[in-house]
């Protein structure tokens, strides 16, 4: 019995020894694996840290307001105190495309994320090919024109006189009567009437009394003073709208009949005569009114006025390219028509352009062009004992130990 107990104890002890050996071996393997894993992780982290350090070392931070101020780490601008921002890498494509002929001076194409475009309020619009109209506003008055009334009656009388002596045997009398007709006709031309209007006057039974005080049922005349810069857009037959306090909220419509051929040397305006058929007999001669004449300017390539940036030297818009870039492009302006601009060259109908937040986009474009120009320019050579200072943008005396 004792021998069996001793054998059992020996077997149990042997089993415990084997288990202990196995446990020690497992612990040793596990420890070795953990050590190897930690070593690999440490090496990986070291490599990542080295790569990040190299990246940070190559990073350039600059001031948005003073691009010449640069640093290898974040900080503030010594000139204006703004926080420095990290400069993105400039692709070779942008470097090579910095000065195409269509770009305005000091600008470059830019690319912004959708989130940033929304933040600064960028909106796009389509270039349209559409008919444009120029609205000419002018001060007017109800006509009281004794001079034209007299000239009309003199012309009519000269025609009657010529008719009476048409069969006269005296050539001098007939010549004198013809000269009177031509003289009266010339005076009407000077007052702004055309040949067609003068010829129609010879067959009209209207005495022209509506140039003085219109009678019930007669047309009334409105005289508008048009500045010489707008005269090229005004011609007989155009529609005109007449408003004013004397009309008690009513709007009259009329047609341009004639324009003076002589410009007033004091006001630099020419008189435009407008005939209004729906006369109001209570209107007094010389009453002031407001006149609006709408002149067609034809079909034009048109953009909103706010879409164009103009320095006086050159004009440009920002086009939205299919590549996602916003590209500044020079344009030539023909004229302005209300809130639209007619474009002579630089754009075609159907193109997409920036119509709002243009100044912010323009600032980004100028900054991009400055950075590209700086990246292309070599570091200046400084005199002996001096070195180039990136932040200050000029050579300064060396602060370190001398090279000697």
Question: Do 340 and 351 share a domain, yes or no?
Answer: yes
402, part of any domain: no
Task: Give the domain range for residue 208.
Answer: 145-212
14, part of any domain: yes
For strand 340-345 and strand 352-356, is the pairing parallel, antiparallel, or unpaired? unpaired
DSSP-assigned beta bridge partners for residue 270: 226
pLDDT in tens, 298-319: 999 999 999 999 988 899 999 9
Question: Do 123 and 77 share a domain, yes or no?
Answer: no
255, part of any domain: no
78, part of any domain: yes
d(CA 331, CA 333): 6
Contact 258, 236 (CB under 8 A): yes
Contact 145, 311 (CB under 8 A): no
d(CA 294, CA 240): 7
Q: How many structural domains compose the chain? A: 4
Number of CB atoms found within 10 A of residue 355's CB? 19
235, part of any domain: no
Question: Do 1 and 52 share a domain, yes or no?
Answer: yes
36, part of any domain: yes
pLDDT in tens, 216-247: 667 889 999 999 999 999 999 999 999 998 88
257, part of any domain: no
- Indicate the pTM of the whole model: 0.59
Q: What is the pLDDT along the chain (404 residues), one digit of tens a residue?
A: 444 544 455 444 454 454 444 444 444 544 455 455 545 555 555 445 544 444 455 577 777 777 767 788 888 888 888 888 776 554 444 443 444 567 888 888 988 888 888 888 999 999 999 999 999 999 999 988 888 888 888 988 898 888 888 777 788 888 888 899 899 989 888 887 878 888 887 777 666 666 777 776 678 899 999 999 999 999 999 999 999 988 888 899 999 988 888 899 999 999 999 999 876 657 788 999 999 999 999 999 999 999 999 988 899 999 998 888 899 999 999 999 889 999 999 999 999 999 998 888 998 888 888 777 776 666 667 778 787 776 666 778 877 655 54
């Amino acid at each position: 019995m004792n021998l069996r107990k001793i054998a059992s104890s020996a077997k149990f002890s042997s089993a415990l020894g084997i288990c202990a050996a196995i446990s020690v071996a497992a612990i040793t393997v596990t420890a070795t694996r953990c050590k190897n894993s930690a070593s690999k992780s440490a090496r990986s982290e070291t490599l990542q840290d080295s790569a990040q350090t190299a990246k940070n070392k190559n990073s350039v931070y600059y001031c948005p307001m003073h691009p010449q101020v640069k640093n290898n780490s974040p900080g503030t601008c010594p000139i204006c105190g703004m926080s420095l921002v990290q400069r993105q890498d400039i692709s070779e494509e942008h470097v090579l495309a910095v000065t195409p002929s269509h770009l305005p001076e000091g600008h470059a194409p830019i690319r912004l994320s959708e989130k940033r475009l929304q933040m600064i309020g960028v909106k796009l619009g389509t270039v349209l090919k559409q008919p444009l109209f120029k609205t000419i506003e002018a001060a007017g008055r109800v006509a009281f024109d004794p001079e034209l009334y007299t000239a009309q009656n003199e012309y009519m009388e000269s025609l009657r006189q010529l008719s009476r002596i048409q069969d006269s045997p005296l050539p001098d009398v007939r010549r004198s009567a013809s000269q009177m007709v031509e003289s009266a006709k010339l005076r009407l031309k000077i007052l702004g009437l055309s040949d067609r209007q003068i010829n129609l006057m010879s067959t009209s039974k209207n005495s022209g009394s509506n140039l003085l005080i219109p009678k019930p049922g007669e047309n009334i005349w409105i005289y508008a003073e048009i500045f010489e810069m707008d005269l090229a857009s005004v011609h007989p037959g155009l529609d005109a709208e007449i408003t004013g306090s004397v009309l008690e909220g009513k709007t009259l419509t009329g047609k341009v009949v004639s324009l003076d051929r002589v410009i007033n040397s004091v006001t630099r305006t020419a008189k435009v005569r407008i005939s209004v058929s729906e006369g109001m007999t209570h209107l007094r001669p010389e009453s002031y009114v407001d006149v609006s004449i709408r002149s067609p300017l034809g079909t034009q390539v048109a953009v909103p006025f706010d879409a164009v940036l103009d320095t006086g030297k050159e004009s440009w818009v920002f086009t939205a390219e299919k590549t996602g870039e916003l590209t500044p492009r020079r344009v030539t302006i023909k004229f302005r028509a209300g809130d639209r601009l007619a474009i002579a060259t630089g754009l075609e109908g159907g193109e997409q352009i920036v119509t709002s937040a243009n100044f912010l986009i323009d600032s980004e474009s100028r900054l991009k062009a400055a950075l590209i120009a700086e990246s292309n320019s070599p570091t200046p050579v400084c005199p002996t004992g001096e070195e180039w200072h990136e932040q200050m943008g000029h050579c300064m005396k060396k602060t370190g130990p001398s090279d000697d």
